[in-house]
Chain A
Amino acid sequence: MNFRIFVHMVSFFLVSTYGLMAQNEKKQLDLFAIRAMEGCFDVSFQYTETFAPEVDYEKAYDYTSSAFEWAEIIEESDDKIVIQHLLIINDSVIIKHWRQDWVYEAAYEFSYNKDYRWTIADLIASEVKGKWTQYVYQVDDSPRYSGTATWTHVDGVSSWYHKADSPLPRREFSKRSDYNVMKRGNRVSIMPYGWLHEQDNDKIIRSDEGDKLLVQEKGYNTYKRRPDSDCASAQKWWNHNHEVWANVREIWEEKLGKSTSIKLHKRVDDKSLYEILLQGSEVWDRAKLESVINKYLIP
């Protein structure tokens, strides 16, 4: 064998192996960062409106709130982590909260248009290489927003940033009608105390003529870690209820998998889907769940 060809082959082998190792190492860091969002947390929510293009826009009062939350990894593989958030009220009342799924090099994304309608679109493999898609679901596990980006691990901080359209946040859902789409700038950063969810949001008036910015908003939500044992009541609640919600997830996954878009009713018979699903007295089997969810889907 020609010596030069031999050197090229060895170099190619070393570079490829090093590349794969580096890629795998990076993915391990990504997984470590995502897993760090699991745990028992004191959460503080702070939002303040910042810049408005119209001079007569009167900024809303700042929104501040706090919560006590258990976030549990309920599904995990090399390419997917599902984290369920549960609210703990007065140490004993548990309310299912939002859910975030993280998928490596995902196949699709859903994006919010307006009027409670989402479009589901395939992602191009070459464009999602090495990236993670975060899917955020509402309390009733219906879609909220999703986005694809790269986790970065720089200067000791792991973070992920993406901007995605979404419906109005729960805190303004029934209070505001002067905008209809929130373009959420989501930055998740893993911090020594837990994690930070920073937001740079645009409140948008979307019509057939296009988008008009109403006002921008800064969000600063901190998740400060407590011992897992403080959240024992939520862990117990999830053990007791996880099967019902596995069915709910599966039903939504099927609906999203079969469609290119979905449109939902906000309320049916003056009740939102989460009000029905979260009521404790009902015994849910899969058929009953599907029938309820179908009522909220607009064909």
Chain B
Amino acid sequence: MIRVLFFVLVVFLGVAYTWTDALRQKVELTVSEYFGANAVYQKLKTDQHMDSRFFENFFRVTKDTQLGGYIYVSQAPSMKNVFDYMIVFSPSFEILAAKVLIYREQHGRQIGTKRWLQQFQGLQPHHRPTLGKDVDGISGATISCKSMTDAVRATLKEVENYLTKTESK
């Protein structure tokens, strides 16, 4: 029950949290790494019927007015705290990279390694990754692995909803 409440709190925080300077710097560094030095990110203009909480942290990335892709920045629970992560999408919403940007405890830090995170590369909005099924876990970091996998799955679901609603117009 406590874990459920914690998760609910984290989900709430994940959509309402304020970016720290450190997080902003890391987001900007990752944006320039994937889209080039002069790339800029802006919030998507969405209709009211879309989940505004999700789209608070979903950004369109452009470089020289050309669409470069999209990024999503949020938080998910680790064992005793929360971590900040970022998902980088191509213009066709395929995952280019998932990154853990800030991790706040010693337990489970291994989820930040590129080797583990690259399992999410290439996933598309219709995919629903599940730990132990199509995502391998890491011994000693099970909670954080599950949390990150769930976060990616939830993000892909939101993106698919957005695409469905946008295309049905």
Q: How far is the CB of B38 from chain A (nearest CB, A)?
A: 18
**Does A55 sit at the interface, judged by CB under 8 A?**
yes
Q: How far, in whole Å, are A58 and B114 apart by their CA atoms in the complex?
A: 7
**Does A254 sit at the interface, judged by CB under 8 A?**
no
- Chain A residue with Cβ nearest B112: A55
Contact A55 B114 (CB under 8 A): no
Residues of A within 8 A of B (CB): 55-56, 58
Residues of B within 8 A of A (CB): 26, 30, 83, 99-103, 109, 112, 114
Contacts of A56 on B, CB cut-off 8 Å?
Answer: 26, 30, 99-102, 112
7 closest Cβ pairs, A-B complex: A55-B112, A55-B103, A55-B100, A56-B101, A58-B114, A56-B99, A55-B109
Contacts of A55 on B, CB cut-off 8 Å?
Answer: 83, 100-103, 109, 112
A selection of 8 A-B contacts at a CB cut-off of 8 Å is A55-B100, A55-B102, A55-B112, A56-B26, A56-B30, A56-B100, A56-B112, A58-B114
Q: How far is the CB of B30 from chain A (nearest CB, A)?
A: 8
Q: How far is the CB of A210 from chain B (nearest CB, A)?
A: 16
Q: How far, in whole Å, are A198 and B167 apart by their CA atoms in the complex?
A: 61
Contacts of B99 on A, CB cut-off 8 Å?
Answer: 56
- Chain A residue with Cβ nearest B30: A56
Contacts of A58 on B, CB cut-off 8 Å?
Answer: 114
- Chain A residue with Cβ nearest B83: A55
A-B Cβ contacts below 8 A, count: 15
Q: How far, in whole Å, are A56 and B109 apart by their CA atoms in the complex?
A: 10
* Given A55-B103, A56-B100; 10 other pairs, CB 8 A cutoff: A55-B83, A55-B101, A55-B102, A55-B109, A56-B30, A56-B99, A56-B101, A56-B102, A56-B112, A58-B114
Contacts of B114 on A, CB cut-off 8 Å?
Answer: 58
Q: How far is the CB of A52 from chain B (nearest CB, A)?
A: 9
- Chain A residue with Cβ nearest B86: A56
Q: How far, in whole Å, are A56 and B117 apart by their CA atoms in the complex?
A: 11
Contacts of B100 on A, CB cut-off 8 Å?
Answer: 55-56
Q: How far, in whole Å, are A56 and B73 apart by their CA atoms in the complex?
A: 14
Contacts of B30 on A, CB cut-off 8 Å?
Answer: 56
Q: How far is the CB of A131 from chain B (nearest CB, A)?
A: 38
- Chain B residue with Cβ nearest A57: B112
Q: How far, in whole Å, are A58 and B99 apart by their CA atoms in the complex?
A: 10
Q: How far, in whole Å, are A56 and B30 apart by their CA atoms in the complex?
A: 10
Q: How far, in whole Å, are A58 and B109 apart by their CA atoms in the complex?
A: 13
Contacts of B26 on A, CB cut-off 8 Å?
Answer: 56
Interface centre among B30, B103, B109, B112 (most CB of A within 10 A): B112
- Chain A residue with Cβ nearest B100: A55
Q: How far is the CB of B161 from chain A (nearest CB, A)?
A: 28
Q: How far, in whole Å, are A56 and B102 apart by their CA atoms in the complex?
A: 7
Q: How far is the CB of B81 from chain A (nearest CB, A)?
A: 12
Q: How far, in whole Å, are A76 and B132 apart by their CA atoms in the complex?
A: 65
Q: How far, in whole Å, are A141 and B106 apart by their CA atoms in the complex?
A: 44
Q: How far, in whole Å, are A58 and B100 apart by their CA atoms in the complex?
A: 11
- Chain A residue with Cβ nearest B99: A56
Contacts of B83 on A, CB cut-off 8 Å?
Answer: 55
Contacts of B101 on A, CB cut-off 8 Å?
Answer: 55-56
Contacts of B103 on A, CB cut-off 8 Å?
Answer: 55
- Chain A residue with Cβ nearest B114: A58
Q: How far is the CB of B95 from chain A (nearest CB, A)?
A: 16
Q: How far is the CB of A50 from chain B (nearest CB, A)?
A: 13
- Chain A residue with Cβ nearest B33: A58
Q: How far, in whole Å, are A56 and B104 apart by their CA atoms in the complex?
A: 12
Q: How far, in whole Å, are A84 and B59 apart by their CA atoms in the complex?
A: 57
Q: How far, in whole Å, are A58 and B115 apart by their CA atoms in the complex?
A: 10
Q: How far, in whole Å, are A58 and B30 apart by their CA atoms in the complex?
A: 12
Q: How far, in whole Å, are A58 and B113 apart by their CA atoms in the complex?
A: 7
Q: How far is the CB of B70 from chain A (nearest CB, A)?
A: 19
Q: How far, in whole Å, are A56 and B116 apart by their CA atoms in the complex?
A: 12
Q: How far, in whole Å, are A58 and B112 apart by their CA atoms in the complex?
A: 9
- Chain A residue with Cβ nearest B29: A56
Q: How far, in whole Å, are A55 and B112 apart by their CA atoms in the complex?
A: 5
